[in-house]
Structure 1
Amino acid sequence: MAGLQRGAATPQSITVHAKSRVLEVGFSDGATFRIPFELMRVYSPSAEVQGHGPGQEVLQTGKRDVELLGLDPVGNYAVQPRFSDGHDSGIFTWDYLYFLGSKQDELWGDYERRLREAGVDRDAPMQAGGGHACGHH
Protein backbone atom coordinates (compact mmCIF):
# COMPACT_ATOMS: atom_id res chain seq x y z
CA MET A 1 0.00 0.00 0.00
CA ALA A 2 3.04 2.25 -0.06
CA GLY A 3 2.71 5.46 -1.97
CA LEU A 4 -1.07 5.27 -2.12
CA GLN A 5 -2.29 8.71 -1.14
CA ARG A 6 -5.92 9.26 -0.43
CA GLY A 7 -7.35 11.55 -3.05
CA ALA A 8 -4.66 10.66 -5.56
CA ALA A 9 -6.77 8.10 -7.42
CA THR A 10 -8.92 9.31 -10.29
CA PRO A 11 -11.52 7.32 -12.23
CA GLN A 12 -10.25 5.76 -15.44
CA SER A 13 -13.66 4.36 -16.30
CA ILE A 14 -17.21 4.85 -15.12
CA THR A 15 -19.86 2.41 -16.29
CA VAL A 16 -23.55 2.58 -15.44
CA HIS A 17 -25.06 -0.91 -15.16
CA ALA A 18 -28.76 -0.11 -15.33
CA LYS A 19 -30.00 -3.70 -14.99
CA SER A 20 -27.99 -4.58 -11.90
CA ARG A 21 -28.26 -1.00 -10.59
CA VAL A 22 -24.60 -0.49 -9.89
CA LEU A 23 -22.08 2.14 -10.91
CA GLU A 24 -18.78 0.53 -11.79
CA VAL A 25 -15.81 2.80 -11.25
CA GLY A 26 -12.25 1.85 -12.14
CA PHE A 27 -9.62 4.00 -10.46
CA SER A 28 -6.09 4.87 -11.50
CA ASP A 29 -4.62 2.90 -8.58
CA GLY A 30 -6.09 -0.31 -9.99
CA ALA A 31 -9.09 -0.49 -7.67
CA THR A 32 -12.48 -1.18 -9.23
CA PHE A 33 -15.67 -0.73 -7.27
CA ARG A 34 -19.26 -1.65 -8.04
CA ILE A 35 -21.32 0.85 -6.09
CA PRO A 36 -25.07 0.14 -5.87
CA PHE A 37 -27.30 3.06 -6.88
CA GLU A 38 -29.16 2.56 -3.60
CA LEU A 39 -25.98 3.12 -1.60
CA MET A 40 -25.17 6.24 -3.61
CA ARG A 41 -28.68 7.54 -3.09
CA VAL A 42 -28.78 6.77 0.64
CA TYR A 43 -25.36 8.35 1.17
CA SER A 44 -25.82 11.25 -1.21
CA PRO A 45 -23.58 14.11 -0.07
CA SER A 46 -26.38 16.63 -0.64
CA ALA A 47 -27.79 18.80 2.15
CA GLU A 48 -31.17 17.20 1.54
CA VAL A 49 -29.74 13.91 2.84
CA GLN A 50 -26.88 14.98 5.08
CA GLY A 51 -28.70 17.86 6.75
CA HIS A 52 -26.78 20.87 7.90
CA GLY A 53 -24.67 19.33 10.62
CA PRO A 54 -24.02 16.13 12.57
CA GLY A 55 -27.19 14.40 13.67
CA GLN A 56 -29.21 16.26 11.02
CA GLU A 57 -29.02 13.44 8.50
CA VAL A 58 -32.33 12.46 6.97
CA LEU A 59 -32.65 8.68 6.91
CA GLN A 60 -33.44 7.61 3.34
CA THR A 61 -35.76 4.67 2.77
CA GLY A 62 -37.47 3.01 -0.17
CA LYS A 63 -34.43 3.45 -2.41
CA ARG A 64 -33.74 -0.19 -3.24
CA ASP A 65 -35.17 0.17 -6.74
CA VAL A 66 -33.88 3.67 -7.43
CA GLU A 67 -32.40 4.07 -10.89
CA LEU A 68 -29.69 6.30 -12.24
CA LEU A 69 -31.08 8.38 -15.09
CA GLY A 70 -27.94 10.36 -15.79
CA LEU A 71 -24.47 11.28 -14.61
CA ASP A 72 -23.43 14.84 -15.28
CA PRO A 73 -19.75 15.75 -15.01
CA VAL A 74 -18.88 18.51 -12.55
CA GLY A 75 -15.58 20.06 -13.60
CA ASN A 76 -12.97 17.32 -13.66
CA TYR A 77 -13.38 16.31 -10.05
CA ALA A 78 -16.92 15.00 -9.58
CA VAL A 79 -20.17 13.72 -11.07
CA GLN A 80 -23.73 14.71 -10.31
CA PRO A 81 -26.14 11.78 -10.61
CA ARG A 82 -29.80 12.18 -11.50
CA PHE A 83 -31.89 9.55 -9.74
CA SER A 84 -35.30 8.25 -10.75
CA ASP A 85 -36.89 9.62 -7.56
CA GLY A 86 -36.03 13.16 -8.65
CA HIS A 87 -32.99 13.56 -6.40
CA ASP A 88 -30.20 15.34 -8.28
CA SER A 89 -28.50 17.67 -5.81
CA GLY A 90 -25.65 15.41 -4.72
CA ILE A 91 -22.14 16.15 -5.99
CA PHE A 92 -20.03 13.00 -5.80
CA THR A 93 -16.31 13.80 -5.89
CA TRP A 94 -13.80 11.15 -6.94
CA ASP A 95 -12.72 10.93 -3.28
CA TYR A 96 -16.28 10.34 -2.18
CA LEU A 97 -16.90 7.65 -4.82
CA TYR A 98 -13.70 5.95 -3.68
CA PHE A 99 -14.90 6.18 -0.08
CA LEU A 100 -18.31 4.70 -0.96
CA GLY A 101 -16.73 1.91 -2.97
CA SER A 102 -14.03 0.95 -0.50
CA LYS A 103 -16.22 1.20 2.60
CA GLN A 104 -19.50 -0.12 1.27
CA ASP A 105 -19.71 -3.08 3.67
CA GLU A 106 -19.35 -0.77 6.67
CA LEU A 107 -21.74 1.75 5.13
CA TRP A 108 -24.43 -0.90 4.54
CA GLY A 109 -24.00 -2.06 8.15
CA ASP A 110 -24.32 1.49 9.40
CA TYR A 111 -27.39 2.09 7.24
CA GLU A 112 -29.07 -1.09 8.53
CA ARG A 113 -28.28 -0.10 12.12
CA ARG A 114 -29.79 3.36 11.59
CA LEU A 115 -32.93 1.79 10.08
CA ARG A 116 -33.26 -0.54 13.09
CA GLU A 117 -32.76 2.30 15.55
CA ALA A 118 -35.38 4.39 13.76
CA GLY A 119 -37.71 1.40 13.62
CA VAL A 120 -38.26 1.79 9.90
CA ASP A 121 -38.07 -0.68 7.06
CA ARG A 122 -35.52 -0.26 4.28
CA ASP A 123 -38.34 -0.35 1.75
CA ALA A 124 -40.68 2.04 3.57
CA PRO A 125 -41.71 4.99 1.41
CA MET A 126 -40.12 8.29 2.39
CA GLN A 127 -42.42 10.57 4.34
CA ALA A 128 -43.41 13.71 2.51
CA GLY A 129 -41.84 16.94 3.64
CA GLY A 130 -38.31 15.65 4.11
CA GLY A 131 -39.20 13.08 6.76
CA HIS A 132 -38.75 15.37 9.73
CA ALA A 133 -40.49 13.92 12.77
CA CYS A 134 -43.20 16.25 14.00
CA GLY A 135 -44.26 14.24 17.03
CA HIS A 136 -47.25 12.56 15.36
CA HIS A 137 -47.36 8.95 16.48
Structure 2
Amino acid sequence: MTNFFRYSNSGKPAFAPKFKKKGKKDAFRYPQGVKVRQSRVYLPKIGWVRYRASRPIEGTILQATIKREGPHWFVCLACEVNLTDVDPIPVSDEKAVGIDVGLKTFATLSDGTEIENPKFLRVAQRQLSKA
Protein backbone atom coordinates (compact mmCIF):
# COMPACT_ATOMS: atom_id res chain seq x y z
CA MET A 1 0.00 0.00 0.00
CA THR A 2 2.81 2.42 0.76
CA ASN A 3 4.24 1.98 -2.75
CA PHE A 4 0.81 2.79 -4.19
CA PHE A 5 0.55 6.06 -2.29
CA ARG A 6 4.19 6.94 -2.99
CA TYR A 7 3.70 6.54 -6.75
CA SER A 8 0.27 8.19 -6.85
CA ASN A 9 1.61 11.28 -5.01
CA SER A 10 4.63 11.55 -7.35
CA GLY A 11 2.46 11.80 -10.47
CA LYS A 12 3.55 8.46 -11.93
CA PRO A 13 0.82 6.06 -13.07
CA ALA A 14 -0.11 3.83 -10.15
CA PHE A 15 -2.64 1.09 -9.65
CA ALA A 16 -4.15 -0.10 -6.39
CA PRO A 17 -2.79 -3.48 -5.25
CA LYS A 18 -4.81 -6.53 -6.23
CA PHE A 19 -6.59 -8.47 -3.53
CA LYS A 20 -4.97 -11.87 -3.06
CA LYS A 21 -7.22 -14.45 -1.46
CA LYS A 22 -5.80 -16.34 1.51
CA GLY A 23 -5.12 -19.98 0.78
CA LYS A 24 -4.96 -19.53 -2.98
CA LYS A 25 -1.19 -19.58 -3.35
CA ASP A 26 0.46 -19.84 0.05
CA ALA A 27 4.00 -20.51 -1.17
CA PHE A 28 7.22 -18.67 -1.85
CA ARG A 29 10.62 -19.65 -3.21
CA TYR A 30 14.24 -19.12 -2.26
CA PRO A 31 16.22 -19.64 -5.47
CA GLN A 32 19.61 -19.28 -3.72
CA GLY A 33 21.32 -19.07 -0.36
CA VAL A 34 19.65 -22.11 1.21
CA LYS A 35 21.77 -24.28 3.53
CA VAL A 36 20.92 -27.43 5.48
CA ARG A 37 22.61 -28.67 8.64
CA GLN A 38 21.24 -31.66 10.55
CA SER A 39 17.61 -30.81 11.34
CA ARG A 40 17.76 -27.12 10.41
CA VAL A 41 17.45 -25.23 7.16
CA TYR A 42 18.81 -21.70 6.64
CA LEU A 43 16.47 -19.35 4.77
CA PRO A 44 17.89 -15.92 3.84
CA LYS A 45 16.22 -13.02 5.71
CA ILE A 46 14.54 -15.50 8.08
CA GLY A 47 17.45 -17.47 9.54
CA TRP A 48 17.76 -21.02 10.76
CA VAL A 49 14.45 -22.91 10.96
CA ARG A 50 13.86 -26.40 12.34
CA TYR A 51 12.48 -28.98 9.94
CA ARG A 52 11.86 -32.71 9.87
CA ALA A 53 13.74 -34.45 7.06
CA SER A 54 11.71 -37.15 5.36
CA ARG A 55 14.79 -38.48 3.53
CA PRO A 56 18.50 -37.69 3.33
CA ILE A 57 19.50 -34.87 0.99
CA GLU A 58 21.73 -35.94 -1.90
CA GLY A 59 23.58 -33.54 -4.18
CA THR A 60 23.62 -29.75 -4.12
CA ILE A 61 20.55 -27.73 -3.15
CA LEU A 62 19.32 -25.54 -6.00
CA GLN A 63 16.29 -23.89 -4.41
CA ALA A 64 13.77 -24.17 -1.59
CA THR A 65 10.01 -23.71 -1.80
CA ILE A 66 8.17 -22.94 1.43
CA LYS A 67 4.45 -23.67 1.32
CA ARG A 68 1.55 -23.80 3.71
CA GLU A 69 -1.14 -26.45 3.62
CA GLY A 70 -3.71 -25.80 6.30
CA PRO A 71 -2.00 -24.95 9.58
CA HIS A 72 1.27 -26.66 8.59
CA TRP A 73 4.33 -25.30 6.77
CA PHE A 74 6.47 -27.45 4.48
CA VAL A 75 9.84 -26.96 2.82
CA CYS A 76 10.55 -28.59 -0.55
CA LEU A 77 14.21 -28.73 -1.52
CA ALA A 78 15.17 -29.10 -5.19
CA CYS A 79 18.57 -30.75 -5.52
CA GLU A 80 20.91 -31.45 -8.42
CA VAL A 81 22.11 -35.04 -8.40
CA ASN A 82 24.62 -36.68 -10.75
CA LEU A 83 23.11 -39.89 -12.08
CA THR A 84 26.00 -41.80 -13.61
CA ASP A 85 25.11 -45.35 -12.58
CA VAL A 86 21.63 -45.46 -14.09
CA ASP A 87 20.78 -48.65 -15.97
CA PRO A 88 18.42 -48.16 -18.91
CA ILE A 89 15.16 -50.07 -18.79
CA PRO A 90 15.18 -52.84 -21.40
CA VAL A 91 12.40 -52.52 -23.97
CA SER A 92 11.16 -55.52 -25.90
CA ASP A 93 9.39 -55.15 -29.24
CA GLU A 94 6.97 -57.93 -28.35
CA LYS A 95 5.17 -55.78 -25.78
CA ALA A 96 5.10 -52.59 -27.87
CA VAL A 97 1.74 -51.59 -29.37
CA GLY A 98 0.95 -48.74 -31.75
CA ILE A 99 -2.38 -46.97 -31.25
CA ASP A 100 -4.14 -44.80 -33.83
CA VAL A 101 -6.91 -42.65 -32.38
CA GLY A 102 -9.58 -41.80 -34.92
CA LEU A 103 -13.07 -40.40 -35.39
CA LYS A 104 -14.88 -43.40 -36.87
CA THR A 105 -13.39 -45.91 -34.42
CA PHE A 106 -12.16 -44.90 -31.00
CA ALA A 107 -8.76 -46.57 -31.44
CA THR A 108 -7.07 -48.96 -33.86
CA LEU A 109 -4.19 -51.06 -32.57
CA SER A 110 -1.11 -51.97 -34.61
CA ASP A 111 -2.35 -55.57 -35.02
CA GLY A 112 -5.60 -54.31 -36.66
CA THR A 113 -7.90 -54.65 -33.64
CA GLU A 114 -10.51 -51.88 -33.60
CA ILE A 115 -11.93 -50.55 -30.34
CA GLU A 116 -15.36 -49.00 -30.70
CA ASN A 117 -16.20 -45.57 -29.40
CA PRO A 118 -17.87 -45.76 -25.95
CA LYS A 119 -21.38 -44.34 -26.22
CA PHE A 120 -21.90 -42.98 -22.73
CA LEU A 121 -24.76 -40.66 -23.69
CA ARG A 122 -26.89 -43.32 -25.43
CA VAL A 123 -26.42 -45.80 -22.58
CA ALA A 124 -27.33 -43.15 -20.01
CA GLN A 125 -30.42 -42.11 -22.02
CA ARG A 126 -31.63 -45.72 -22.19
CA GLN A 127 -31.14 -46.14 -18.46
CA LEU A 128 -33.01 -42.89 -17.76
CA SER A 129 -35.91 -43.86 -20.04
CA LYS A 130 -36.30 -47.18 -18.18
CA ALA A 131 -36.25 -45.49 -14.77
Q: TM-score, normalised by structure 2?
A: 0.24
Larger Rg: 2
Structure with a larger share of its residues in helix: 1
TM-score of the aligned structures, taking structure 1 as reference length:
0.24
Q: Which has the higher strand share?
A: 2
Larger RCO (CA within 8 A; separation ≥ 6): 1
